[in-house]
Amino acid sequence: MLKLWSIRSIVAQTGAIAILCISGASTAAEVSTGTAPSSSSGDMAHMSGHMFMTQLRPRNAGDKEKADAVVLAAREAMAPYQDYRKALADGFRIFLPGVPQPQYHFTNYRYGREATEHFDPLKPTSLLYKKTSDGGYKLVGVMYTDRVDAKEEELNERIPLSVARWHQHVNFCVAPWGQRAAYFGPNAKFGLQGSISTREACEEAGGTFLPHVLGWMVHVYPYEADEKKVWSTGDDEQGHDNMDHTAMPGMKMDPGMKMD
């Protein structure tokens, strides 16, 4: 298990540990030494070296109605925040504001902590905004979260897995000091864009391996008419994004978070 000073040094360089707290980690050290989900079980689809997604299940009676209720709740939760400044005033904080992104996560860390215990679709962990040409933000969706170790049955209780595909970001190699540039570009080695996706390769490169960077997440775009776009899981012509295209080296530590 990592020493606390080691965790803090990683945070100082990348901030990558901080977001674990809103995703259900009991401590950052505990999750950093855990095991990533295995695609060999048949329960998950290994979409890339850095992301796992639940597979779609056969649809059962009541699944669509349950998912539709979440969509309606998401719309209600979004209604007060068409103006992004209202979200900021109410405690949502922009995740990586200085990094260009297809969409920006305005995260409420209190809601994220509450989501580790129970699901309230009226309290999404993040509001999803797209940058506008005038420098503002347009609200397009929400993100719900669950603990990093939540079982699929729990996810299915929150939003049926026959409709939504939850995802986790995994196999994050924190770059050694002085190699921050290796998070970016076509030849990136570290982070969620990096070629390194195993503990062995990470340690050989002098990095620190994190099996999980975030807990379970699912995006909802309730203004879309097409169900597939409502539950979009990746980049598409609408600009939907699942954060798998950011290296996340510049995360900021939330003042309210505790590392132990």
- Per-residue pLDDT tens for 8-51? 333 334 443 333 333 333 323 333 333 444 333 333 343 368 87
What single string gives the DSSP state of each residue in 51-118? Answer: EEEEPPPPPPTTHHHHHHHHHHHHHHHHGGGSSHHHHHHTT-EESSTTS--SSEEEE-HHHHHHHTT-
Q: Report the DSSP beta bridge partners of residue 210.
A: 172
Query: Which pLDDT score is estimated for 144?
Result: 98
SS3 sequence, 104-130?
EEEECHHHHHHHCCCCCCCCCCEEEEE
Whole-number pLDDT of residue 234: 65
- pLDDT confidence of residue 91: 96
Of the listed ranges 46-60, 141-155, 217-231, the least confidently predicted one is 46-60
Q: Is the pLDDT of residue 107 over 50?
A: yes
- Residue of 254 and 77 predicted with greater confidence: 77
Tally of CA atoms within 13 A in the half-sphere of 80 that contains its CB: 11
Q: How far apart are CA 32 and CA 6, in angstroms?
A: 12
**More confident site: 185 or 17:** 185
How big, in percent rounded to 5, are the helix, strand and coil portions of the chain? 30, 20, 50
205-209, 212-216, 251-255: which has the minimum mean pLDDT? 251-255
Q: Where are the alpha helices (DSSP H) in 116-215?
A: 152-158, 199-204
User: Band of the pLDDT at 153, cuts 50, 70, 90?
Assistant: very high
For the ranges 87-96, 101-110, 158-167, 206-215, the lowest mean pLDDT is seen at 206-215
